[in-house]
Amino acid sequence: MTDTATPTPTESLLRPSRLMSRRNAAERRFRLYGITAIAISLLVLAIMLFTILRDGVSAFRQTSVTFPVVLTAEALDPSGSLDAAAMAKVTTIGYGKVIDSSFLAFLQAEGLAVDGLSDKDARAILSKEAAGQLRAQVLAEPALVGQTITMTIWTNARIDGYFKGRVTMESAERDGNVSPEQLQLADLLAENGALSRPFNWQFLTGPDASDQRPEAAGLGISIIGSIFMMIIVALLCVPIGVAASIYLEEFAPKNRWTDLIEVNISNLAAVPSIVYGILGLAVFINFAGFPQSSSLVGALVLTLMTLPTIIIATRSAIRAVPPSIRDAALGIGASKMQTVFHHVLPLAMPGILTGAILGLATALGETAPLLLIGMVAFVDNYPSLSAAGALDPATALPVQVYGWAQRSDPAFIERSSGAIIVLLIFLVIMNAAAILLRRRFERRW
Amino acid sequence: MNKMQNPETLVIANANKMTARKVQVHYGTNHAIKDVDVDILDKTVTAFIGPSGCGKSTFLRCLNRMNDTIPVCRVSGELLLEGENIYDPRVDPVQLRAKVGMVFQKPNPFPKSIYDNVAYGPRIHGLTRNKAELDAIVESCLKKAALWNEVKDRLDSPGTGLSGGQQQRLCIARAIATSPEVLLMDEPCSALDPIATAQVEELIDELRSQFSVVIVTHSMQQAARVSQKTAFFHLGHLVEFGDTGQIFTNPGDPRTESYISGRIG
């Protein structure tokens, strides 16, 4: 060997060569890029979570006033019969008057008064929703008539916003819906101890409310709708998707037809979700005649949308099972079906579950196709909690977020962010379930 | 078929178990096996030797129709197991594979317990009526595979946790648990160290008293040690087939001689 190729005859291992230091520098740069990318994504995630929590956490508490309400018999049961049908003739207006007079009496008794605040404006700080709720309570329990009960009644969204920092004295000057005097009254009530901010169960269980009363808006119906849809999507998608993948991967001959099917499945996974909404509208509602706005139709549309994702994930999980396992099973005389169900499927299970949960999580957060099949409607009645409830009108969490984000009242921004928090909690629960299931199915090699 | 067995006899007097006549294998347009005629004798070890890519593994996989899983593979000619053509359309390959077991190059135990690995075959073929019978089969197969003493206290631990040699012996135990008539081994020792190889070779010699064994090997020493019959494949042709002693000491074909002496392959 001649050493004409080496320009420096004395190359020490203690000193890195020029090429080596360049290679090391490139490696360091690459690591730096990686760390930067991860740092940026973590920062974005942190900012997103921070803003959502900042805007949304307050939605879980609601400013309320506690005071005694005198349920006068003359006003609520003019016939004096305690008969439900007769009492039902008294509308919410009648109950509103009862609440108003009790509230004004309470203010007077406690000596809470603000100069220049009319009685009408004073009682306006209470939510308009309260009358309806009191009416439902009294109709359910007519014996309450004639008694004095202590009620905790929501304040309206502006007073609530005042205690959450959304409304200030200055903004109240310019706001037609609230006056500084009303805020002063709220301050007095707070000093008196009548104001509290209990956990807002209505937000999690109540139905949606109109634009004028954001304090009453709740997620109950959309949570029920989303749960219905997730159950139906999981029941339809996972068996169909897994069965289709097993057939395509293990049994189907490899020919032009299966190639065509494969290309189409990949393409379907990339179709914009709103297109599935149009499809669902045409097929399930207009052609098949399923009730619109129902969770069943929503679930069917989401199933169509999720199937390609699940099929693709399942197929790659099945493909990742080493062929030696199939050989081993076939070699001792297992049939094709036994090979798949005894050996391939258990080994592919973790991958299948990951794919299924990813698909379901996408479906849970999907809005666009649901808009087209009418799940964006204002739904005030709870769907039945039996299986038939899937046919009742409902909304879904992401649609509710979308709907609230569109409304003008700033209180709905808070509600919208709160709904996002609920949606994220759902996703975390689903992912945790997936991780647990995967742990359970994972096999040591 | 149950004749007197004289292990001293080197002259093979056993009956034909499998017969191959004019077997051709095509992979798409590639003609991989050309006109192979081989007789696999009962209770005999037959070795297939030859350079890589000569078709010996392909031919081995024809013997239990494992090539059926490769869509482009076509087999023609006549392959008989005890006089019945195994490529007859009426033959179910699943049933055939219970009679013609296979051990693969890389140890491939199922990711299940040692017990379940051995018990799987008898279970799916319904060979046992109760748990006691199954236990007996598992024990006797593990004993035949010379693995029982090493694993009898941990039958519930995963088969994949064993060492490479143990795994291969577990695979052999699994293959013989269905009581096959022929056992095919595709380079069973290529992933094993010399000690494990010696154990497996010893095992093959013992198995010969119950089945016919067909072994594909790259090691000519191994072929000489374990087999009574040797077939030399080259470029898809069966060059020479005869008694092992004769092939290694007095080959009839110059190609066989070149391969054995290390000049080709």
Residue of A nearest to B160 (CA): A445
Q: Does B171 touch chain A (CB under 8 A)?
A: yes
Candidate from A324, A334, A443 with C-beta closest to B104: A324
Note the pLDDT tens digit of each residue in B98-156.
889 999 988 999 998 999 999 999 998 888 888 999 999 999 999 888 889 889 899 99
Domain-wise residue ranges, chain B: 17-260
Q: What is the pLDDT of residue A7?
A: 54
Q: Which residues of B touch A343 (CB under 8 A)?
A: 110
Residue of A nearest to B97 (CA): A333
Q: What is the pLDDT of residue B116?
A: 92
Q: Between A and B, how many CB-CB pairs are < 8 A?
A: 73
pLDDT at B5 over 50: no
Interface touch A330/B97, C-beta < 8 Å: yes
Q: What is the pLDDT of residue A8?
A: 54
Q: Does B124 touch chain A (CB under 8 A)?
A: yes
Candidate from B69, B71, B174 with C-beta closest to A330: B69
Q: What is the pLDDT of residue A205?
A: 87
Can you give the three-state secondary structure of chain B, one letter per residue?
CCCCCCCCCCCCCCCEEEEEEEEEEEECCEEEEEEEEEEEECCCEEEEECCCCCCHHHHHHHCCCHHHHCCCEEEEEEEEECCEECCCCCCCHHHHHHHEEEECCCCCCCCCEHHHHHHHHHHHCCCCCCHHHHHHHHHHHHHHCCCHHHHCCCCCCEHHHCCHHHHHHHHHHHHHCCCCCEEEEECCCCCCCHHHHHHHHHHHHHHCCCCEEEEECCCHHHHHHHCCEEEEEECCEEEEEEEHHHHHHCCCCHHHHHHHCCCCC
Average pLDDT, chain B: 87
Candidate from A328, A338, A443 with C-beta closest to B104: A328
Q: Which residues of A touch B (CB under 8 A)?
A: 253-254, 322, 324-335, 338, 342-343, 347, 443-445
CATH number corresponding to A220-441: 1.10.3720.10
CATH number corresponding to B17-260: 3.40.50.300
Average pLDDT, chain A: 87
CA distance B109 to chain A (A): 7
CA distance B213 to chain A (A): 15
Note the pLDDT tens digit of each residue in A168-223.
888 888 887 888 888 888 888 888 888 888 888 888 888 888 888 888 888 999 99
For residue B2, what pLDDT band results from cuts at 50, 70 and 90? very low
Q: What is the pLDDT of residue B4?
A: 43
Share of chain A above pLDDT 70, in %: 97
Of A110-119, A197-206, A292-301, A327-336, the range with the lowest mean pLDDT is A110-119
Interface touch A334/B94, C-beta < 8 Å: yes
Domain-wise residue ranges, chain A: 18-57, 62-198, 220-441
Q: What is the pTM of this model?
A: 0.82
Q: Which residues of A touch B141 (CB under 8 A)?
A: none
**Which value, in Å, is the radius of gyration of the alpha carbons in chain A?**
31
Q: What is the pLDDT of residue A363?
A: 92
Q: Does B167 touch chain A (CB under 8 A)?
A: no
Q: What is the pLDDT of residue A75?
A: 78
Q: Which residues of B touch A258 (CB under 8 A)?
A: none
Note the pLDDT tens digit of each residue in A245-270.
999 999 988 889 999 999 999 999 88
For residue A96, what pLDDT band results from cuts at 50, 70 and 90? confident
Q: What is the pLDDT of residue A418?
A: 92
Q: What is the pLDDT of residue A312?
A: 94
User: What's the average model confidence in pLDDT over B2-17?
Assistant: 55
Note the pLDDT tens digit of each residue in B123-135.
988 888 889 999 9
**Phi-psi label, residue A148: left if phi above 0, alpha if psi -120 to 50, beta otherwise:** beta
Residue of A nearest to B170 (CA): A328
The interface pTM score, or ipTM, of the predicted complex is 0.85
Interface touch A331/B104, C-beta < 8 Å: yes
Interface touch A444/B110, C-beta < 8 Å: no
Residue of A nearest to B174 (CA): A332
Interface touch B158/A329, C-beta < 8 Å: no
Q: Which residues of B touch A328 (CB under 8 A)?
A: 104, 108-110, 171, 174
Q: What is the pLDDT of residue A445?
A: 46
